[in-house]
Amino acid sequence: MPINVGHDSAKTRKTLKSGDQSVAFYSIKAAEEAGLGDFSRLPAALKVVLENMLRFEDGNTVTQDDIKAFAEWAKKGGKNPREIAYRPARVLMQDFTGVPAVVDLAAMRDGILALGGKAEQINPLNPVDLVIDHSVMIDEFGNPRAFQMNVDREYERNMERYQFLKWGQGAFNNFRVVPPGTGICHQVNLEYLSQTVWTDTDQNGEEVAYPDTLVGTDSHTTMVNGVAVLGWGVGGIEAEAAMLGQPISMLIPEVVGFELTGEMTEGTTGTDLVLKVVEMLRERGVVSKFVEFYGKGLDTLPLADRATIANMAPEYGATCGFFPIDEETLRYLTNTGRDKDRVALVKAYAKENGLWRDENYAPIYTDTLHLDMGTIVPAISGPKRPQDFVALTEAAVTFREYIKGQRSSEKAPEKQKDRWESEGGPAAPRDIPGDAGHHRRGTVASVNGNDPYQLHDGSIVIASITSCTNTSNPYVMIGAGLVARKARELGLTRKPWVKTSLAPGSQVVSDYLEAAGLQEDLDAIGFNLVGYGCTTCIGNSGPLEPEISKAINDYDLIGVSVLSGNRNFEGRISPDVRANYLASPPLVVAYSLIGDMNVDIAASPLGQDKDGNDVYLKDIWPTSDEINALVEKTVTRDAFQSKYANVFKGDEKWQAVETSEGQTYDWPPESTYVQNPPYFQGMSKEPSKIADIEDARILALLGDMVTTDHISPAGSFKESTPAGQYLRERQVPVREFNSYGSRRGNHEVMMRGTFANIRIRNEMLDDVEGGYTLGPDGEQMSIFDAAMAYHEQDTPLVIFAGEQYGAGSSRDWAAKGTALLGVRAVIAEDFERIHRSNLVGMGVVPFEFTGGDTRKSLGLTGKESVTIKGLGQIKPQQEVPCLIRMEDGTEKEITIRCRIDTAIEIEYVENGGVLNYVLRNLAKTA
């Protein structure tokens, strides 16, 4: 489908020659010559957005004043928050977020028919790629059959979802599906889909070159900024609007410059670097800002490490972490199999349009930070947040302090006292270092033929090489393989209580691990291939051995996971694990050998070799030269080209998936995976003004850093939960529950899973974890049941929260579920970018406290009622009064700021959401 460029942008349209190619492009220099301003010192990331304005200038959605605003940005020192209409070139999805997006599109086709339109009006106008990567779960591990058995179970569990996606692939134009078992969406995007500079024909049939840009329904879409492709995560609802041609309304962002100097030292990895970057940027505060990396240090930083840093932009809070185009970008594009003419075009375009980084690159930034990479040390992050950086030498000490703090504030449950006392009280075995009196222990009987052993607080029960962050980086993956090889040669292996797994981000990883002979070594330690997907990082770690799970729960032990992922929030990785640490793949292997977070891995023996000699981490850690030599030898252009040659074809299992046909979907009423959502049913042709909120009750009173995992968990759930009860009522056996993430196409399950994370704490209740609140009768009940009871009374609901509300994944169900529970507003100290946008996109109004007010300073208990008036005439970021009626009848009036940030967002909320807005507008053109 051709791109539609603006009709007023001809004066900046020029011709670019690259080899035998001749293409049109939109010139920033020409814009300067036309008197639109001086753009010479804009950061490259912002020049990409500026080019978008030039290309789509039409005098309406994009005007000359919008373009001039970028020159004003530079004059004002990197600040000019003007609202602009931005149009990304394409959309990327994964299946957890993609299924509900396709569900919404299918429902919109039904909706537009009801409004008198045509089904084919609902169709992606921009290219959409959906990669199925979130569904594989680690049921089987540590043996040669693990991969095939996990794939078989994946298809058994998810056939309904895959049939639905195959229908979507046939029903919608411009929509492609990458089948299961191919890789993680961000790695497929980095290694294959992205071009850095894109070409397409315009409405006049002429070929146009322009920067490759995208939005994705996964927060780690930012990874592709490592190859100079501007992209970030959005909620599914915002992505759907972008697919349907709706521009993304955004403010011209501030751009924080992060200067890298020096070189990485021996023994450190790109993971160590990114964990330090996360700590620094989260401390500085970069929410809703671009971060651009620059400096002499980039000259020695491989693109794989750049991609690792760009990947974790959500963890440091930025919209994106961008790396400008330079020689390393071209080297990577060439080595990963991109067409040689495309690589030449990237260079020519970048130099011609001011996107090239060289020694003279010196843009203006809003703010700057500096890091000498020579100061980086081996590190991990945890046990609950990615920004909690811990030097490896301090890891054991800080963990023991964490345990001490946890146990000092807890009371021993009555049911566990007898067990502890029968085994010597709640003390640790003699071999736990540090303050053993703060640890708990529990005996595990023989598992899989191993001798009985004792678990305790700090036992590492999961060690997983997983996620897009690190498995896309051959330096750390080869490094992990070499650690396994050296450990194997010395006779070391994983501890029997550690569940080990290897889930590469693409099949290319397996190719070079096998070519280097390292997969055999990883297998010997227990890191067998379990699948190509997100696995542990998304919560699909699968069950622990029953005996281990029972010991952890019977004795209330604090189990530990170590993973090479990007997220370690509470309740995310496994319901049996409370402390989670992010680490490089080589460290994941090393921690599996020691099996205990209490032990100083940097200085203590990992075990003994065949002769009884102590083996230390330094004895099995590879040198940079060893790693680089194998990377050079085994990571080849041919491997990328061969593995991606049939990327959309899939294996025999995918080809055998049968599905229905037709422009609209025949919703199977018995399906527990895919249901027609209620968003567009009975919708009127015209919107209405935003209604005031009167006498609303508080559904939850939440603290700081409540993540989208807390609001809408992705992992497994139990039979006793509202979601579990719903499935059991429909005769779904517990073994087939799958996960919340896999059932995002069914709003009935997801409503029941909203605010249902097992670690969420509602401050309306004392010492209670999980999705509970007080119902209308004042009794404790599940949040879902309370919301339904309030719905019966026609009572609106609000949420109160602390700082960084909605951090983490770009999970649209965190907003969808909130809306479907009847929540009209969320009042927090501040919001993370994506979740704020998602709330608005679902018609829920976000508000922020002002004047130093917080839920704590107001003394809220959750028993108050809340009234917010003046919403019918609300303006972007307007401050309004909020009347809080306390339980004793007294009243407090505070001022809160509306975080509907732009004029178009007002219309979204008036329409009940962005998709309702798009649907009504499309119906008018039928």
What residues have CB less than 8 Å from 254, skipping those under 6 apart? 78, 79, 81, 288, 289, 290, 366, 367
- Report which of 846, 868, 849, 847 is spatially closest to residue 858, judged by C-alpha positions: 849
Characterise 357 by phi-psi region: left (phi > 0), alpha (psi -120 to 50), beta (else).
beta
Predicted confidence at residue 3, as pLDDT, reads 79
Both structure tokens of 648: 């959309």
Q: In this structure, is the dihedral angle defined by the CA atoms of residues 742, 747, 752 and 757, taken in order, positive or negative?
A: positive
DSSP state of 734: G
**Residues written for the chain:** 926
DSSP 280-315: HHHHH--TT-EEEEESGGGGG--HHHHHHHHHTHHH
Residue ranges of E strands in 301-458: 320-322, 367-372, 379-381, 389-391, 441-444, 453-456
Q: Sketch the domain layout of the chain as residue ranges.
A: 379-428+439-622, 693-910
Angstrom distances, CA of residue 91 to CA of 96, 180, 279, 492, 884: 15, 19, 29, 45, 42
pTM score, whole prediction? 0.86
**CA distance to 79, 110, 164, 321, per residue, from 667 (Å):** 49, 11, 9, 41
Nearest CA to 775 out of 764, 762, 761, 786 is that of: 786
Non-local (6+) Cβ contacts of 652 within 8 A are none
For 745, the 3-state DSSP assignment is coil
pLDDT of residue 204: 86
| Sequence-separated contacts (24+) of 401-407 with Cβ below 8 Å | 402/579, 403/438, 403/439, 403/457, 403/458, 403/558, 403/598, 404/435, 404/438, 406/558, 407/438, 407/439, 407/440, 407/457
Dist CA 395 CA 43 (whole Å): 38
Q: Are strands 255-261 and 367-372 parallel, antiparallel or unpaired?
A: parallel
Backbone angles phi, psi at 854, to 5 degrees: -145, 170
Residue 596 tokens read as: 């205990």
pLDDT digits 0-9 by tens, 39-83: 999 999 999 999 999 999 998 889 999 999 999 999 999 999 998
Measured in degrees and rounded to the nearest 5, phi and psi for residue 602 equal: -80, -20
Please state, in angstroms and rounded to a whole number, the distance separating the CA atoms of residues 440 and 420: 8
d(CA 821, CA 555): 35
Q: Is 844 helix (H, G, I), strand (E, B) or coil?
A: coil
Q: What is the pLDDT of residue 581?
A: 97
DSSP 807: B
The CATH number of the domain covering residues in 693-910: 3.20.19.10
Across the strands, what pairs with 706? none
Distance CA 14, CA 224 (A): 27
CA dist 218 and 214 (Å) reads 12
CA distance 653 to 924: 43
What's the burial of 449, exposed, middle or buried (CB within 10 Å: 0-12/13-18/19+)?
A: exposed
The one-letter amino acid at 605: P
Mean pLDDT by groups of 10 residues along the chain of 926 residues: 76 93 96 96 98 94 96 96 94 90 93 92 92 90 94 91 93 93 94 96 92 94 98 87 87 97 97 96 95 98 97 95 98 97 98 97 97 98 94 96 85 50 42 64 71 90 93 95 98 96 95 97 97 87 92 93 91 91 97 97 95 96 97 96 93 91 92 93 91 98 94 91 97 91 94 95 94 96 98 98 89 94 98 90 96 96 96 95 96 97 92 92 84
* pLDDT at residue 430, rounded to an integer: 40
CATH class of the domain whose range is 379-428+439-622: alpha beta
CA angle 893–899–901, rounded 5-degree value: 140
The alpha-carbon radius of gyration of the chain (Å, integer) is 27
Report the alpha-carbon distance of residue 465 to residue 440 in Å, rounded. Answer: 28
**Two tokens at 174?**
């411009």
The single-letter code of the amino acid at 814 is: A
Joined tokens for residue 387: 């920004």
User: Using CA atoms, how far apart are residues 227 and 207, in angstroms rounded to an integer?
Assistant: 23
470 three-state secondary structure: helix
| Rounded distance between C-alpha atoms, residue 47 and residue 71, angstroms | 11
Predicted local confidence at residue 517, as pLDDT: 97
Residues paired with 883 in a beta bridge: 867, 893
Q: How far apart are CA 897 and CA 425, in angstroms?
A: 52
Place of tokens 């429902």: 107
- For residue 383, whether the previous peptide bond is cis, meaning omega lies within 30 degrees of 0, is yes
What integer pLDDT is reported at residue 682 of this predicted model?
86
Contact 524, 491 (CB under 8 A): no
Cβ-based neighbours of 296, under 8 Å, separated by 6 or more: 260, 261
Dihedral, CA atoms, 363, 364, 365, 368, nearest 10 degrees?
80
Nearest to 884 by CA among 865, 901, 869: 865
Which tokens hold the place of 853? 């007010």
Distance CA 617, CA 255 (A): 40
Pairing relation of β-strands 290-294 and 320-322?
parallel
pLDDT of residue 720: 95
Q: Say what the pLDDT of residue 437 is.
A: 58
**Would you list the DSSP string of 13-37?**
EEEEEETTEEEEEE-HHHHHHTTS-
CA-CA distance, 836 to 905, in Å (whole number)? 11
pLDDT at 715: 84
